[in-house]
């Protein structure tokens, strides 16, 4: 039933205002917890959902980096994705400018996929990069003729077939994802990847400085 605006200070107004004040105090408590997990605002960028996923997966947010990435007890970074089936979505989003560099990064991480119905968490799947390799290879073929792909979707059916379900709504606790995917081998891969990226950025900055000096001479 649509909300009808009550008369100001009527019993209905006072009731609703009191209710929202109580609920808002609970949200402040939730926000305090979120800050401990590196989430500055639960109302922005699906912050509340990310907090729920981090707690269920027993992870923390990757510091100083945007996105839904989490890090587990081994120090392994995860690509965290979610899907709201109430909106009719049947695919997990990737990146609006997906290119070879992003695919390379995707190959260094295991993935978690949380399925929501509105705000209700229904399932969580985990999937290794090897299971996603057919999609990565398909995207690379498409990139032979274009610089980037506009947000290719990962079908939910693909995740259900190739991933492992670690949580179903109603379960008291999820399965520890680290018992499903051994993330130790990922750690060295990620370290090598980030060291190379850091080195390449440093070399690019040095090249720009050299080019700038050359134009000034």
Helix (H, G, I), strand (E, B) or coil at 97: coil
Looking at 69, 84, 104, 117, which residue is catalytic?
69
Q: Note if 35 is an active site residue.
A: no
Share of the chain above pLDDT 70, in %: 97
By C-alpha distance, which of 53, 122, 117, 48 is closest to 85? 117
Looking at 49, 77, 81, 123, which residue is catalytic?
81
Q: What integer best gives the mean pLDDT of the chain? A: 93
Query: Is the CA virtual torsion 201, 204, 206, 212 positive or negative?
Result: negative
Q: Note if 4 is an active site residue.
A: no
pLDDT in tens, 89-145: 879 999 999 999 999 999 999 999 999 999 999 999 999 999 999 999 999 999 999
Helix (H, G, I), strand (E, B) or coil at 199: helix
> How far is it, in rounded angstroms, from Cα 81 to Cα 69?
9
pLDDT at 62: 84
pLDDT in tens, 35-58: 998 888 999 988 999 999 999 999
Q: Write down the architecture of domain 61-216 according to CATH.
A: 3-Layer(aba) Sandwich (3.40)
Count Cβ atoms below 10 Å from residue 85 Cβ, excluding itself: 14
> How far is it, in rounded angstroms, from Cα 2 to Cα 82?
30
pLDDT at 65: 57
Q: Note if 79 is an active site residue.
A: yes
Does residue 17 carry a pLDDT above 70?
A: yes
Looking at 49, 72, 77, 79, which residue is catalytic?
79
Q: Where are the alpha helices (DSSP H) in the chain?
A: 11-36, 47-57, 100-106, 129-142, 156-162, 177-180, 184-216
Average pLDDT over residues 179-201: 94
Does residue 66 carry a pLDDT above 70?
A: no
Segments making up each domain of the chain, as ranges:
61-216
Average pLDDT over residues 162-170: 97
């Amino acid at each position: 039933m649509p909300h009808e605006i009550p008369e100001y200070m009527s019993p209905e107004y006072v009731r609703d205002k009191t209710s929202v004040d109580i609920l808002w105090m609970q949200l402040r408590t939730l926000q305090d917890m979120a800050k401990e997990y590196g989430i500055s605002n639960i109302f922005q960028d699906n912050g509340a959902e990310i907090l729920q996923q981090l707690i269920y997966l027993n992870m923390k947010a990757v510091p100083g980096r945007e996105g839904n990435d989490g890090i587990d007890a081994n120090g392994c970074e995860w690509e965290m994705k979610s899907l709201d089936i109430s909106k009719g979505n049947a695919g997990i989003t990737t990146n609006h400018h997906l290119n070879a560099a992003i695919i390379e990064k995707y190959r260094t991480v295991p993935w978690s996929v949380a399925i929501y119905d509105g705000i209700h968490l229904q399932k969580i799947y985990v999937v290794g990069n090897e299971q996603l390799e057919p999609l990565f290879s398909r995207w690379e073929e498409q990139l032979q003729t274009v610089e980037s792909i506009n947000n290719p979707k990962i079908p939910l059916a693909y995740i259900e077939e190739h991933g492992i379900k670690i949580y179903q709504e109603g379960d008291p606790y999820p399965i520890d994802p680290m018992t499903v995917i051994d993330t130790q081998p990922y750690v060295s891969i990620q370290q090598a990847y980030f060291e190379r990226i850091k080195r390449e950025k440093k070399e690019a900055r040095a090249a720009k400085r050299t080019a700038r000096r050359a134009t000034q001479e």
